[in-house]
Amino acid sequence: MVSRWMYISLVILYGFLLGPFLIIFMASFGANANLAFPPQGFTLDWFANVFETSQFIDSFWISLQLALLSTIVSLIMGMPVAYALTRFHFSWSGMVETVFSAPILVPGLVIGFAMLNFFVLLGDMHVMTGLFIGHTAILFPYSVRVISASLRNLDPYVEDAAVSLGANRLRGFLLVVLPNMQAGIAAAFVLGFITSFNNVPVSLFLSGPGVTTLPVSMLSYLEYYFDPTIAALSTLLVIFTVVLVQTAERLLGLSQFV
Amino acid sequence: MIRRPNQTRTIILLVAPAFVFVLVFFVLPLIFLLSQSVLPEEGGFTLTGYLDFFQSRVSRIVYLRTLKLGLIVTGISVVMSYPAAFVLARMPARRRSFLMSLVILPLMTNAVARTFAWLIILGRRGMINQTLLSLELVENPLRFIFTETAIVLGLTQLFLPLMVLPLVSAMENIPNDVLEAARSLGANRLTTFVRIVVPLSSDGLVLGATLVFTGSVTAFVTPAILGGSRLLLMSTLLRQKAVIIFDQHAAAVVAVVMIATTLGVNLLLRVARVQHS
């Protein structure tokens, strides 16, 4: 049933998906500053330049803190929601599901814009607080969905057994359910972290003077400079992502949750 | 399932913290946005913002261009993914899971990095221009950046995985027996593909198309880098109105039109699914 031209289409697909990465990779080691193709010579200067550009270093730390904080908070708040949705039948569960999937249906740029206007209305808010709120809100759909999927895979009777043996609900959850959900929680964590770490549209409006995320600062760097520094930084980020995603895929099968 | 008298109280306690968060920090800002689009700073309720938007030639062009490019990107994604997804779905599990992790790799890398590659490929001294020049097919470099083609290429590369993933998972569920039955009853490969595989994977197709289309019409980074202010899409228009022209009323209108578009597409999908089943 699988014919030769289907294999050709597979090769084209992967060439198109991964080819750009190869080009970024090559450009980041090339000596010519104007990004002419093919790259001439070999240099590590652009990588050095990444680490010497304070705007990238500062925004990297902000992105890292922001991604960790918003992922953890969205997981801690999302987990009880997922638990309620999978373990109880209630008439308004559809409404709860809609509310928690809504942030995925609204364009990120619109979310950032609406939040900025609203925060201005509320008065002085720290830029980092605004970014944290924005990122946490857009991560709820992921954490609720992934944790729900992982809870559905777990037999509710296991938990009921713990309760009938004398544990209270909370103890049953902490000692029986939680340890069995490690893979789901880790998958939700990786997915949330990457979503936040890479986000541009929500962060764009919510970033402020001196407080910018890494992708947004890459975008603004591109407005003024066109040299392989961005290619070098992208290469570093791709390596970082490959290690993270491959580890997660190997351990947890991440692609089934995306 | 757990049945207890105070069940409702438990559910409320479980859901409340996140629910209040989303209500206050997500739903309220959107309601405020909606009110901004009909209540200009001068005061009074008005729909002139929307009238202005649809009567202005510029914003009409931008809106139609956004929809057009979204449709083109979706179409290209379908054509590129369909046969490839079929190959992936028929593969041994180990090889498939490796190849699928390569499909999600682009999704896991930030859009600025991915779009930057197109500047190197399409730029004045980029790969394509250098090839054309060295083959002496053109005398001067052609301009590819700030064209619709550039935006379409960038968006397709960005959202292609969102088409491949649902298609593969829909096709995995087609039993081999069905395909063999079709073949043994005399259908050739093409007929089997069109009459058996396509209908049985239509759910994946519809889902993928919705994800790619809504992603394309709302993406910001790609049109910002590859279209700039010369070739605006809705997202870059929103940013221009809000940050450069500083007209929050008009920007709010653009934002609401963007939400209405994506919600409309998702609603259509839901109706299509209900009728399908």
Domains and CATH numbers, chain B: 17-46 (no CATH), 57-92+145-276 (1.10.3720.10)
CA dihedral B178, B181, B185, B187 (to 10 degrees): 50
Amino acid at A99: V
What 3 state SS string does chain B have?
Answer: CCCCCCHHHHHHHHHHHHHHHHHHHHHHHHHHHHHHHHCCCCCCCCCHHHHHHHHCHHHHHHHHHHHHHHHHHHHHHHHHHHHHHHHHHCCCHHHHHHHHHHHHCHHHCCHHHHHHHHHHHHCCCCHHHHHHHHCCCCCCCCCCCCCHHHHHHHHHHHHHHHHHHHHHHHHHCCCHHHHHHHHHCCCCHHHHHHHHHHHHCHHHHHHHHHHHHHHHHHCCHHHHHHCCCCCCCHHHHHHHHHHHCCCHHHHHHHHHHHHHHHHHHHHHHHHHHHHHC
Angle at alpha carbon of residue A106, lines to A62 and A72, rounded to 5°: 40
A134 interaction partners in chain B (CB closer than 8 Å):
25
Crossing angle of the two packed helices A108-122 and B248-276, in degrees rounded to 10: 130
A113 interaction partners in chain B (CB closer than 8 Å):
33, 238, 242, 251-252, 255
pLDDT at B76: 97
Q: In this structure, are residues B159 and B71 in contact, taking their beta carbons and an 8 Å threshold?
A: no
pLDDT in tens, B94-127: 899 889 888 988 888 899 999 999 999 998 888 8
Domains and CATH numbers, chain A: 54-226+241-256 (1.10.3720.10)
| CA B222 centroid distance within chain | 12
- CA A200 to chain B, closest CA, distance in angstroms equals 7
Main-chain dihedrals φ then ψ at residue A137, nearest 5 degrees: -60, -45
Instruction: Return the residue of A nearest to B26 by Cα.
Output: A137
A81 interaction partners in chain B (CB closer than 8 Å):
14-15, 18-19
Helical residues (DSSP H) of chain A, grouped into ranges: 4-29, 45-52, 54-87, 93-105, 108-122, 127-152, 156-164, 169-172, 178-180, 182-198, 201-206, 214-224, 229-252
3-state secondary structure of A125: coil
Angle at alpha carbon of residue A7, lines to A6 and A9, rounded to 5°: 65
Give the pLDDT mean for A244-252: 74
A38 interaction partners in chain B (CB closer than 8 Å):
127, 130
Which of B13, B19, B22 is the best substitution to test chain A (most A C-beta atoms within 10 A)?
A: B22
- CA A41 to chain B, closest CA, distance in angstroms equals 16
Instruction: Return the residue of A nearest to B105 by Cα.
Output: A242
What distance in Å separates the CA atoms of residue A119 and residue A105, rounded to the nearest whole number?
A: 21
Structure tokens at A63: 């992105």
Amino acid at A239: I
pLDDT tens, N- to C-terminus, chain B (277 residues)? 555 556 888 899 999 999 999 999 999 999 999 999 998 877 788 898 999 999 999 999 999 999 999 999 999 999 999 999 999 998 998 899 889 888 988 888 899 999 999 999 998 888 888 889 889 888 888 888 899 999 999 999 999 999 999 999 999 888 888 888 888 888 888 888 888 888 889 989 999 999 999 999 999 999 999 998 899 999 999 999 999 999 999 999 999 999 999 999 998 888 877 776 6
The CA distances from residue B83 to A7, B106, B171, B194, in Å, are: 8, 20, 11, 11
Instruction: Return the residue of B nearest to A106 by Cα.
Output: B259
Q: Does B132 touch chain A (CB under 8 A)?
A: no
B259 interaction partners in chain A (CB closer than 8 Å):
106-107, 110
CB pairs under 8 A between A and B: 271
- CA B86 to chain A, closest CA, distance in angstroms equals 8
Which of B34, B82, B110, B177 is the best substitution to test chain A (most A C-beta atoms within 10 A)?
A: B110
Residue A197 has pLDDT above 80, yes or no: yes
Q: Hey, are the CB atoms on A237 and B113 less than 8 Å from each other?
A: yes
pLDDT at B233: 97
- Residues of A225-242 as b/e, b for ≥16 C-beta within 10 angstroms? ebbbbbbbbbbbbbeebb
pLDDT at A158: 82
Q: Which class for B32: exposed (0-12), middle (13-18), buried (19 or more C-beta within 10 A)?
A: middle
Instruction: Return the residue of B nearest to A87 by Cα.
Output: B1
Selected residues 15-54 of chain B with any CB under 8 Å from a CB in chain A: 15, 17-19, 21-23, 25-30, 32-33, 36
B270 interaction partners in chain A (CB closer than 8 Å):
none
Selected residues 232-261 of chain B with any CB under 8 Å from a CB in chain A: 235, 238-239, 242, 248, 251-252, 255, 258-259
pLDDT at A1: 65
pLDDT in tens, A50-61: 999 999 999 999
Residues in chain B: 277
**DSSP code at position A206:** H
A89 interaction partners in chain B (CB closer than 8 Å):
1
Which of A4, A37, A135, A227 is the best substitution to test chain B (most B C-beta atoms within 10 A)?
A: A37
The CA distances from residue A25 to A55, A219, A255, B100, B103, in Å, are: 22, 18, 25, 21, 18
